[in-house]
Amino acid sequence: MADIIQVAPIQQAGILYLYSIRDEIDMSPSYQRMGDVWPVSKRQLLIDSILNGYDLPKIYFHEFSKPIEKDGSTYRYAVVDGKQRLNAIFQFIDNGFPLADDFTYMRDPEIRIEGLTYSELAKKQPKIKMLLDAYTLPVYGIRADDLDLIEDMFSRLNEAAPLNAAEKRNAFGGPLPKIIRELSGHDFFERKVKFDNKRFRHYDLIAKLLLLCHKETVTDTKKIHLDRFVKSFKDADEGMAKGLQEQVLRVLNELCKVFIDSDPLLKSMGIVPVYFWVQSASMKAGYDQVIDRTELLKFEDERKRNRELAQDDEADEKVQYHYLEFDRLNQTPNDAYAIRFRIEVLAKRILHSEVQKEVLQHMEAGDL
């Protein structure tokens, strides 16, 4: 029998009641995106809407058939949609921000409560505070034992506020989204790269590294290929996925020895698969520490001076056009040709001849 998803209103959904059980609500289930925190003005507008009796959009909880344990906490629910609204409400009750300075209480405009915090509202206008506490939020419980159904519903609910490719991929079923999340905690992403995980940029990059290991060849790392790759593992043996995870971990461990914290050499996502491939192919050939950061810095400086030289019409013969092509392809880093060309240029510039030969042979043979 096919799995069924059931959706029904949660009867006890008053604001104060939900606040009282907030520790039983998982606000960050695995499929949630890493959204920006609402600005104070948007949070204030939400409280304004509640106090003035406006309807709010539905909030969806995954309602567990029995409480689950996670990171030492016990949860009855997980937020599928409505996380920012709940956070704003709970923050107001915690005196995290006041009512807006231009707030108007429409039921009685003579009542002046603008700029008050929750505690101040309780003292000056306890009845209005009680109205807020008793306000019933439109919370709907989703009942389904199959987490894939919940993840699918999360994606559908968020189509109105578009998820990017990495955020959608995080909600796919199967073992790879979990592995991607686990790898994002590696020191390489926590400390070495100079770009944050906003909109799951780390997740997107990790999917590319896993794909390169899986294909054992240089391949396109565009959205369509990443989506197909992650979906292909939905029903795959978990051991195969774990094997890919271990391959990536070994390479990241070596790369951590090369780069400094918040390394300027890692300010762009697009160059990381190139470094990764060179390191991985070298390890495949039996060489571990092959990338020298000093040589990478020299390579960066040479390309910078080459770009400046290219501006001089009289210096045309001195310009290294493969460096210009390297820089151009940095702008379209997900194309297989762009990855392959940059690997070749980098390998020839920074690797010793015997390692360079092995790396380029691996690339031609499609053997990572």
- Judged against a pLDDT cut of 90, whether residue 301 lies above it is answered with yes
From the centroid of its chain, how far is CA 268?
A: 16
Instruction: Kindly report the length of the chain.
Output: 368
Confidence of residue 285 (pLDDT cuts 50, 70, 90): confident
How far are the Cα atoms of 60, 247, 248, 330, 347 from residue 279, in angstroms, in the given order?
45, 12, 11, 19, 10
User: What's the angle, vertex CA 268, arms to CA 232 and CA 320, rounded to 5?
Assistant: 110
Report, as an integer, the average pLDDT of 200-220: 92
- Judged against a pLDDT cut of 50, whether residue 2 lies above it is answered with no
Report, as an integer, the average pLDDT of 46-52: 94
List all residues 6 or more positions away from 305 whose beta carbon is below 8 Å from its beta carbon. none
pLDDT at res. 33: 66
Q: Answer positive or negative: Cα dihedral of 255, 261, 265, 267.
A: positive
Which helix H or strand E contains 249, and what residues bound it? helix 238-258
pLDDT tens digit sequence for 100-148: 999 999 889 899 999 999 999 999 999 999 999 999 999 999 887 666 6
Token pair belonging to 365: 């043979």
| Poorest-pLDDT segment among 59-63, 161-165, 187-191 | 161-165
Confidence of residue 41 (pLDDT cuts 50, 70, 90): very high
Confidence of residue 1 (pLDDT cuts 50, 70, 90): very low
Instruction: Using alpha carbons, select from 55, 59, 57 the residue that is nearest to residue 79.
Output: 59
Confidence of residue 368 (pLDDT cuts 50, 70, 90): very low
Q: What proportion of the chain, given as a percentage, has pLDDT over 90?
A: 61
| Poorest-pLDDT segment among 25-29, 139-143, 153-157, 232-236 | 153-157
d(CA 215, CA 114): 60
pLDDT at res. 365: 60
- Judged against a pLDDT cut of 90, whether residue 237 lies above it is answered with no
pLDDT at res. 366: 55
pLDDT at res. 210: 96
d(CA 186, CA 243): 16
pLDDT tens digit sequence for 64-80: 888 889 888 999 999 98
pLDDT tens digit sequence for 142-179: 887 666 677 667 766 665 556 678 877 877 878 999 89
- Judged against a pLDDT cut of 70, whether residue 50 lies above it is answered with yes
List all residues 6 or more positions away from 53 whose beta carbon is below 8 Å from its beta carbon. 106, 107
Rg (CA), the chain: 26
pLDDT tens digit sequence for 312-367: 877 677 889 999 999 999 888 899 999 999 999 999 999 988 888 888 887 776 54
343 touches 218 (CB < 8 A): yes
Average model confidence (pLDDT) across the chain? 88
241 touches 233 (CB < 8 A): yes
d(CA 153, CA 155): 5
Backbone angles phi, psi at 151, to 5 degrees: -65, -40
d(CA 132, CA 52): 9
pLDDT at res. 34: 62
- Find tokens 């949660």 and name the residue: 10
d(CA 34, CA 350): 37
Backbone angles phi, psi at 117, to 5 degrees: -85, 175
pLDDT at res. 238: 83
Task: Parse the chain into domains and list their residue ranges.
Answer: 6-157, 165-365
Compute, in degrees rounded to 10, the torsion defined by CA atoms 284, 288, 293, 294: -110
- In the chain, the amino acid numbered 105 is Y
List all residues 6 or more positions away from 213 whose beta carbon is below 8 Å from its beta carbon. 244, 247, 248, 280, 368
d(CA 234, CA 308): 49
Instruction: Using alpha carbons, select from 227, 208, 222 the residue that is nearest to residue 274.
Output: 208
User: What's the angle, vertex CA 188, arms to CA 79 and CA 351, rounded to 5?
Assistant: 145
DSSP code of 200? G
d(CA 188, CA 249): 10
